[in-house]
């Protein structure tokens, strides 16, 4: 009997893992991640969070259209790099100039030269944060959104960084595994942009990681060649963190 119970529990765990996650997008843009799609009771949506807590969210607080659209994309089953082929039906490009498809990789730039002496000094880091100002190119934002969501990272905000041509990603992470996964996800997108659409690539990528209590878990300001170190496997995520983190 104990063996049967154990097997049943294993099947239950496997079934839960297969379900992945379900993301509820609120009207203010915030996201709530559950184990599976909510159920409706009266005027509320009942959602089981990833930690098992059952919460009730008023239906009129949920952006139902955006929620259904995001979860219907089934990003976890997407073919490699399909998420980076930015679609235009939802967000018109600010410029009609055509650019190469982000799924068509050019030659990978390895061993890119690093600046030395004065040029190697990073831009002062205070002030890296999400300000709420939109980045100028929606297609670039869309590429980062899909890269993060394909990695099952849903608690993020993307906007203009400390300069108009800088892009900032603010990401909530739960422990070192999500820190590493988040770094890899954004560096891969940044590298793909730099190698296939350099005219649209942000000059710098700023990353602000926050833990579940809202405290900073890591700040980064990266050039394309620095992101390429992780994206092309030259270093591990742990080595990359130690090399580039700024507190």
Provide the pLDDT for residue 77.
Answer: 38
Most confident range (mean pLDDT) of 42-46, 70-74, 90-94 is 42-46
Higher pLDDT, 234 or 74: 234
Task: Give residue-wise pLDDT tens across range 166-220.
Answer: 999 999 998 999 999 999 999 999 999 999 999 999 999 999 999 988 889 999 9
What does the pLDDT read at residue 156? 93
65 CB neighbour count, 10 Å cutoff = 9
Buried b or exposed e, range 12-47, using 16+ CB within 10 angstroms: eeeeeeeeeebbbbeeeeebbbbbeebeeeeebbeb
When pLDDT is cut at 50, 70 and 90, the band that residue 71 belongs to is confident
Average model confidence (pLDDT) across the chain: 76
Residues 134 and 232 occupy one common structural domain: yes
pTM of the model: 0.62
80 within a domain of the structure (yes/no): no
Looking at the domain assignment, is residue 227 inside a domain? yes
Examine the fold and report which residue of 26, 49, 72 is the final residue of a domain before the chain moves on. Answer: 72
Last residue of a domain, one of 72, 89, 109: 72
Compute the distance between CA of residue 132 and CA of residue 11 in angstroms, rounded to an integer: 43
Q: Establish if 115 belongs to a structural domain.
A: no
Q: Are strands 54-58 and 156-160 parallel, antiparallel or unpaired?
A: unpaired
* Averaged pLDDT for residues 65-89: 58
CATH number of the domain bearing residue 40: 2.30.30.100
What digits encode the pLDDT tens for the residues 131-155?
Answer: 889 999 999 999 999 999 988 899 9
Residues 66 and 131 in one domain: no
Its domain, for residue 192, covers 126-247
Who wins on pLDDT, 104 or 25? Answer: 25
Percent over 90 (pLDDT), the chain = 46
Judge if 245 and 147 occupy the same domain. yes
Question: How many domains does the chain contain in total?
Answer: 2
Q: What integer pLDDT is reported at residue 126 of this predicted model?
A: 52
């Amino acid at each position: 009997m104990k063996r049967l119970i154990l097997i049943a529990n294993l099947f239950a765990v496997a079934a839960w893992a297969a379900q992945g996650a379900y993301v509820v997008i609120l009207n203010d843009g915030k996201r709530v991640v559950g184990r599976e799609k909510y159920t409706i009771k009266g005027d509320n949506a009942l959602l089981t969070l990833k930690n098992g807590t059952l919460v009730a969210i008023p239906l009129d607080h949920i952006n139902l259209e955006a929620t259904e659209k995001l979860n219907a994309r089934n990003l976890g089953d997407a073919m490699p790099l399909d998420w980076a082929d930015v679609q235009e039906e939802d967000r018109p490009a600010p410029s009609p100039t055509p650019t190469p498809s982000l799924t068509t990789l050019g030659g990978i730039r390895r061993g890119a030269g690093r600046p030395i002496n004065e040029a190697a000094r990073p831009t002062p880091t205070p002030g890296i944060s999400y300000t709420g100002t939109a980045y100028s190119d929606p297609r670039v934002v869309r590429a980062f959104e899909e890269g993060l969501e394909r990695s099952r990272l849903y608690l993020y905000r993307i906007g203009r960084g400390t300069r108009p041509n800088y892009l900032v990603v603010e990401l909530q992470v739960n422990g070192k595994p999500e820190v590493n996964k988040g770094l890899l996800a954004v560096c891969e997108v940044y590298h793909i942009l730099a190698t296939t659409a350099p005219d649209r690539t942000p000059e710098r990528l700023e990353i602000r990681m926050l833990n579940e209590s809202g405290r900073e878990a890591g700040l980064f300001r990266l050039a394309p060649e620095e992101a390429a170190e992780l994206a092309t496997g030259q270093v591990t995520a742990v080595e990359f963190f130690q090399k580039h983190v700024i507190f």
